[in-house]
Amino acid sequence: MEHSVDIAEFAAAFCKAQGAFEDVLKNAEVKTGSYNFRYATLDAIISSVRPALAVNNLSFMQMLVDGANGSGVETLIIHGSGQWIKSFHPIKIVKADNQSIGSALTYGRRYALSAILGIAVDSDDDGNEGDGKKIEGVTVKKSPAGISAAKVGVSEFFRNLEGCDDADSLDIYLDTSEAKKFAVKVCAEFPDLWVSADGAGLRGLIEKAGKRIGVEASTQTWLVKVEKAAKGAN
């Protein structure tokens, strides 16, 4: 590990941040044939540590670099004072195709970040795909932070729908890239927030807006397009 000449301010801030890290949810389960194990995905790790880092004036960057012993991930933790520490984590790429490279890079980023921050992110070694091992199935659960953010987004979407008082204003809002992207994301990743028994899901809210304004047919057409796009995203 390397660091700036002085790390006094960095060390004080890092100690506070590390003590405030949320428990990292091991939100993925992998079946390899011979055994199963659980681990935290990269997004779950970042969601758990970013708030505490930011509050203490810390941030991080990760880059793919070529080291003396091959390619790897360089992780840099920076303090607002300009003080820093960094580490290099080598990665092994078995196949030179995009999927294998991406898998190995994500694997390296997760372990490099968890190591430099001092957090546990899995119950066993999960570099299976990057090492060429056969993976029978991967189950990923959404992190609490991701679900909370989606719920906030649904509430904001509802407020925007409430602000539409005629067909033109509703069409303009639903035609925005932000509305389309968010609806596709909720439909694809958070099905319980897309459709709910009480009609409070995002789909039901959009249907109610269309009915209130009298444009049910065009609203249904928009919803069908969103659901088709969501299937493609999966």
What are the DSSP calls for 15-54, one per residue? HHHHHHPPPPP--EEEE-SS-EEEE--HHHHHHHHHHHHH
Question: For position 77, what pLDDT does the model report?
Answer: 97
Which tokens belong to 49? 């540590």
The pLDDT of residue 46 is above 80: yes
User: What's the mean pLDDT when you consider all of the chain?
Assistant: 85
Q: Identify the weakest region by mean pLDDT among 128-137, 184-193, 215-224.
A: 128-137
Helix (H) / strand (E) containing 137: strand 137-140
The pLDDT of residue 203 is above 70: yes
Which tokens belong to 24? 């990292």
The pLDDT of residue 139 is above 60: no
Which tokens belong to 147? 């679900």
Question: For position 169, what pLDDT does the model report?
Answer: 94
Higher pLDDT, 43 or 197: 43
CB atoms under 10 Å from CB of 168, counted, come to: 11
Spatial contact of 52 and 21, defined as CB atoms under 8 Å apart: yes
Question: For position 118, what pLDDT does the model report?
Answer: 93
Question: For position 210, what pLDDT does the model report?
Answer: 94
Higher pLDDT, 39 or 170: 170
CB atoms under 10 Å from CB of 229, counted, come to: 16
Q: Mean of the pLDDT values across residues 161-177? A: 94
**Inter-axis angle of helices 167-174 and 202-213, to 10 degrees?**
150
CB atoms under 10 Å from CB of 176, counted, come to: 11
Q: Mean of the pLDDT values across residues 7-25? A: 91
Determine whether 5 is exposed, middle or buried from the number of CB atoms within 10 Å of its CB (0-12, 13-18, 19+): exposed
The pLDDT of residue 59 is above 80: yes
